[in-house]
Amino acid sequence: MSEKVKLNDTVVLIDNSNKRYLLIIQDKTDKFKGIGVFNPTVLAGKQYGEECEIGSKKFWILKPSLQDKLLGMKRHAQIILPRDAAHIILNCSISSGQIVLEAGIGSGSLTIALANAVAPDGKVISYDNRKEFIDHAMKNLKIANLDGYVTTKFKDVTKGINETDLDAVIFDIPNPWDAVSHAWYALKAGGYFCTYSPLISQVEKTVKEIKKNKFIDVKTFENIQREMIVSDYGTRPSFEMLGHTGYLTFARKVL
């Protein structure tokens, strides 16, 4: 029942302030940002869930969850936060076995969440016209052990989509309205279309274009998350709060 850390495992180390560090148990002394210089093999044989000391710092060692993969990844650009990824996955009804397309790949945060949701039999196809973003995102996917569920395409999605019969198409690009009709053609009947945009004008242009195509159930949402601070003194909402991430627009293809 109690599992031990083995060579080549990907593990997550979590410190007291809930910072996460993803690493592979390889026999190679290296400098790890936030941890220090050490050889990860010293962790082999530890029990998952145990507290361990590296240098003078203490960490919990765990098998990486989806959360760890999302929060521990290296960011190259503004990412879609877990709170919005959660809504995309549920509102688009993403399930194991589906084939979904996203554009662009960004740092791969949504890609990780989507890959996790379609595994083990589904597939994520990810378009981006920026080579360096694809490379960076695939590194994050590899560390997350989810790269096997992702196919990347070095291509501008507004130039067209080759795939058809897709379960969902999700855009995080500056001009989603330019690819709405491509999305319609690529989707199967009943398939979900979703765009993520920070600006109202982007939403307006996109919704206008969606209404020119055969989509139903067109809705736009904003998700606001408040953390509650529960301490011995009492409870209150956190003073710190992210005021805005982006608007999520959903639509569903019909014939």
Select 30 or 190, whichever has its Cβ closest to a copy of itself.
Answer: 190
The answer to whether 28 contacts a copy of itself (rule: CB under 8 A) is no
Q: Give me the long-range contacts of 213-216 (CB less than 8 A, separation at least 24).
A: 213/180, 213/181, 213/184, 214/184, 214/253, 214/254, 214/255, 215/184, 215/251, 215/252, 215/253, 215/254, 216/251, 216/252, 216/254
Q: Can you tell me which of 44, 77, 138, 254 binds a copy of itself, judged by CB under 8 A? A: 254
For a copy of itself (CB under 8 A), the number of binding residues is: 80
Burial class from Cβ neighbours inside 10 Å (0-12, 13-18, 19+) for residue 199 reads: exposed
b/e code 213-241 from CB counts within 10 Å (16+ = b):
eebeeeebeeeeeeeeeeeeeeeeeeeee
Select 135 or 220, whichever has its Cβ closest to a copy of itself.
Answer: 220
Stretch that binds a copy of itself, among 30-38, 104-112, 117-125, 126-134 (CB under 8 A): 117-125
Select 76 or 252, whichever has its Cβ closest to a copy of itself.
Answer: 252
Q: Can you tell me which of 6, 30, 199, 212 binds a copy of itself, judged by CB under 8 A? A: 199
x/- track of binding to a copy of itself for residues 46-75 (CB under 8 A):
-xxxxx--------x-xx-xxxx-------
Contacts of a copy of itself in 143-172 (CB under 8 A):
164-165
Select 13 or 179, whichever has its Cβ closest to a copy of itself.
Answer: 13
Select 27 or 165, whichever has its Cβ closest to a copy of itself.
Answer: 165
The answer to whether the beta carbons of residues 106 and 80 sit under 8 Å apart is yes
Sequence-distant (6+) residues with CB within 8 A of 127 are: 101, 102, 103, 104, 105, 152, 153, 155, 156, 157, 161
* Residue 124 bridge partners (DSSP): 100, 150
The answer to whether 90 contacts a copy of itself (rule: CB under 8 A) is yes
Q: Can you tell me which of 5, 54, 87, 153 binds a copy of itself, judged by CB under 8 A? A: 87
Pair of tokens at residue 167: 């379960």
The answer to whether 179 contacts a copy of itself (rule: CB under 8 A) is no
Q: Can you tell me which of 23, 73, 110, 113 binds a copy of itself, judged by CB under 8 A? A: 113
The answer to whether 89 contacts a copy of itself (rule: CB under 8 A) is yes
Q: Can you tell me which of 147, 198, 209, 212 binds a copy of itself, judged by CB under 8 A? A: 198
x/- track of binding to a copy of itself for residues 218-247 (CB under 8 A):
-xxxxxxxxxxxx--xxxxxxxxxxxx--x
Residue 167's SS3 state is strand
